[in-house]
Structure 1
Amino acid sequence: MSNDDLDLAGKPKNEPLSPEGMAAEWATMPDMLVEEGEQDGGTDRLMSQDEIDTMLGFSVGGDDRDARNGIQAIVDSGSVAYERLPMLEIIFERLVRLLSTSLRNFFTDNVEVSLESIRSVRFGDYINSISLPAMLSVFKAEEWDNFGLITIESSLIYSVLDTMFGGKRGQPAPRVDGRPFTSIEINMLKRVIALILSDAEAAFKPLSPVRFTVDRIESNPRFVSISRPANAAIRVELKFDMEGRGGCLHLLLPYATIEPIRELLLESFMGEKLGRDAIWENHLATEVWQTDVAVTCVLHETQMPLKRVMKLEIGDTLMFDARPDSTVALRCGDFIVSEGRIGRVDDKIAVQVVSPLRRSKTTIAAFDSATSHLGSTS
């Protein structure tokens, strides 16, 4: 019998193995493979668990995206990090300030709102991570023609209800599990959600006016499919503290929702795209107000053939169809700015303005749009 007819353990290949023999063969196989690799001068070896985790990208303990590698980094490369949209953090910081004032007035109590984190997540992963019971509010951005999601955790729900119904301060709100929310509780939470959406509108208004309206209230995450599970979204976590009571609220905006204002969110600060300098604007306005402008008073205008003009001689009289009480035109260059009547003040001829100044129909916005259009077609 040749060596080719023997297996790794030195037994005939066709001979059936008992269960004990098969277990022994599998146990000695890694050592035999390592020895063969060393004898042949190769580098084949088994990978350790740490190396496998590193290759898959799960060896990093934290959630820092910059430290991820391997397959996990390839998977996450399809998600756009929120750091590429600098205006988002400014808008949500403004939302926190507005909410702190609005909720204090609403609850007539001290409410502290803080921005915990802004992360890019996949919609399906976020839905699977929601801990129940929770209140899920789907809202629609009318101008952007898409939806967003507000998730209120159970601890914040019971804290809000306890505060609104006159609970004692400094004590955690009682939590009742195993029952759905009543219609009274849902209606009370709708008022809080409407207040949050109103402040969110005010936070986005300097960048892009938008109106948020509540579409529906759900308690099951399966019924809030406003985006595909693999699509990316921005998750904003806000923490509410009401003197020992409180919880977290999540505001989720899919990337498809904020796509209409993506160009504005790419700016480093509001108004960057306009490229204006307020100091020079004020200086130019001051100089314009102090500029001397020549105004011409036109008594009357008439038209005549050129051949008649060529025949005019000294002493000829031209008849104008104007009466003593007729108005005269006040011109600045080729433009009529107003109308007036001729009069006299002491020994000087004066003109009394009888109609308001005619303002230019070209506004700053129209001028900017016309300039951008010419720049795009040139």
Structure 2
Amino acid sequence: MSDVLSQSEIDELLQALSAGELDVQDIKEENKEKKIKKYDFRRPDKFAKDQLRTLQIIHENFSRLLNTFLSGYLRTYINVEVISVEQLTYYEFSNSISNPAVLGIINFKPMSGQVILDISTDIAFTMIERVLGGTGKLVKEVRSFTEIELTLLKKIIIKINKLLTESWENIVELNPSLDKIETNSQFAQIVSPNETIALITMSIKVGNIEGLINICIPHLVIEPIIQKLSTKLWFSSNNKEISDSEKKALQVGLKKANVEVKAIIGESTITVGDFLNLQVGDVIPLNTKIDEDIKIIVGDKLKFLGKPGLKKKNLAIKITDLVEEGDE
């Protein structure tokens, strides 16, 4: 921001102009001079802001998929969020990794090259503890991973790979595979130290334990598809119409889904003492009449009304009415 001239400075400037000591044309020419922008050749900007934004959208989708998968796989509370997406040199990334580490070297097929999935050791030990049936309580100790622990981590990372395929599907059809797991960053040199990378940093919480997951994507790996990393292309891909074959596949998948269906014949309230003393032949009065329709619950919603009966000596329910949404 330019400095504000005082009244005395303004008077001096006007006096210099009127006396011919200062030429207005010289001032204009000075303003036309090109401004110099600093550029660090050691850290070239190979990713545009729009491309980094698209990478963030891709991995926000990935974080939601990872959240759902780990919640079921580890049977505990999971929270995964994207913190930042930035470009660095590979040297800066590898130099920030502490040992021991959990570095999944992933072959990013059909792209030519590898990416790194870096999981903090606290989270890795907690996931192993949960898989083995423990509470997931973190024990503060610095040690290397055993062969059994690395095998368990390998299985988890292989499953995470499948989530990468789904999150990148709008850009490219990936078929990633885990090459190996390294616990020392010195043995995970996938590109030259000065190569530019995109570093996606995600925070993860497993139960009460917090940590980080980093995904290191070298520019060389995704250079063939770098032009597709634009938010405009991403949203246009998201809004494409579903084909008839995709609709049919969705219908087939829905028909195979298992849904819990239960018929509520009636309800009653009794004491714990009466419940403990129930005998064969005892009668419990319900809050429904004999000729009244019973409720049929699909999932957790009331969907039908029906009459109980028999079909070929089997207990059955005959649906008599459909309950529209909002009529419950």
Q: TM (normalized to structure 1)?
A: 0.50
Q: Aligned pair 1:237/2:204, yes or no?
A: no
Q: Aligned pair 1:83/2:49, yes or no?
A: yes
User: Which of the pair has more CA radius of gyration?
Assistant: 1
Q: Aligned pair 1:174/2:164, yes or no?
A: no
Deviation at 1:133, TM superposition (A): 1.8
**Partner of 1:154 in structure 2?**
121
Q: Aligned pair 1:227/2:191, yes or no?
A: yes
1:193 to 153, 157, 165: 157
The residue type paired with residue 160 of structure 1 is M
**Partner of 1:217 in structure 2?**
181
Q: Aligned pair 1:256/2:220, yes or no?
A: yes
**Partner of 1:74 in structure 2?**
40
* Cα separation, 1, equivalents of 2:231 and 2:201: 23
Alignment CA distance shift 1:273-1:162 (3 Å): closer
* Cα separation, 2, equivalents of 1:277 and 1:154: 41
1:22-37 equivalent positions in 2, closer than 5 A: none
Given that 2:201 and 2:213 are in contact with CA atoms closer than 8 Å, whether structure 1 keeps it comes out as yes
Given that 1:109 and 1:242 are in contact with CA atoms closer than 8 Å, whether structure 2 keeps it comes out as yes
Deviation at 1:70, TM superposition (A): 8.9
Runs of 4+ in 1 over 6 A off after TM superposition: none
* Cα separation, 2, equivalents of 1:82 and 1:165: 44
Deviation at 1:81, TM superposition (A): 4.0
Given that 2:108 and 2:174 are in contact with CA atoms closer than 8 Å, whether structure 1 keeps it comes out as yes
SS at match of 1:268: helix
Q: CA-to-partner distance for each residue in 1:292-316, whole Å, 9 max, x for gaps? A: xxxxxxxxxxxxxxxxxxxxxxxxx
1:113 to 63, 66, 80: 80
Deviation at 1:128, TM superposition (A): 0.8
Deviation at 1:215, TM superposition (A): 0.8
* Cα separation, 2, equivalents of 1:259 and 1:126: 19
Higher-RCO chain (CA-CA 8 Å, sequence separation at least 6)? 2
Note the residue ranges of structure 1 that are not aligned, 5 or more in a row: 1-68, 282-378
Given that 1:120 and 1:235 are in contact with CA atoms closer than 8 Å, whether structure 2 keeps it comes out as yes
Deviation at 1:217, TM superposition (A): 1.2
Q: Aligned pair 1:207/2:176, yes or no?
A: no
* Cα separation, 2, equivalents of 1:82 and 1:227: 21
Q: CA-to-partner distance for each residue in 1:88-140, whole Å, 9 max, x for gaps? A: 12211110111111111111222111111111010011111112221111110
Deviation at 1:197, TM superposition (A): 1.2
Q: TM (normalized to structure 2)?
A: 0.58
1:16-55 equivalent positions in 2, closer than 5 A: none
* Cα separation, 1, equivalents of 2:199 and 2:84: 8
2:96 to 129, 135, 144: 129
* Cα separation, 2, equivalents of 1:145 and 1:70: 34
Q: CA-to-partner distance for each residue in 1:51-100, whole Å, 9 max, x for gaps? A: xxxxxxxxxxxxxxxxxx997x5246613245230421221111011111
Q: Which shows bigger deviation, 205-214 or 78-87?
A: 78-87
Alignment CA distance shift 1:144-1:245 (3 Å): same
Note the residue ranges of structure 2 that are not aligned, 5 or more in a row: 1-35, 244-328
SS at match of 1:257: helix
1:278-289 equivalent positions in 2, closer than 5 A: none
Deviation at 1:247, TM superposition (A): 1.2
The residue type paired with residue 187 of structure 1 is T
* Cα separation, 1, equivalents of 2:79 and 2:43: 36
SS at match of 2:171: coil
Alignment CA distance shift 1:242-1:77 (3 Å): closer
Alignment CA distance shift 1:82-1:221 (3 Å): farther
Given that 2:107 and 2:178 are in contact with CA atoms closer than 8 Å, whether structure 1 keeps it comes out as yes
* Cα separation, 2, equivalents of 1:261 and 1:109: 37
SS at match of 1:270: helix
* Cα separation, 2, equivalents of 1:271 and 1:90: 10
Q: CA-to-partner distance for each residue in 1:199-225, whole Å, 9 max, x for gaps? A: 011101122101110111111111111
SS at match of 1:124: helix
Taking only aligned residues, the RMSD between alpha carbons, in angstroms, comes to 2.6
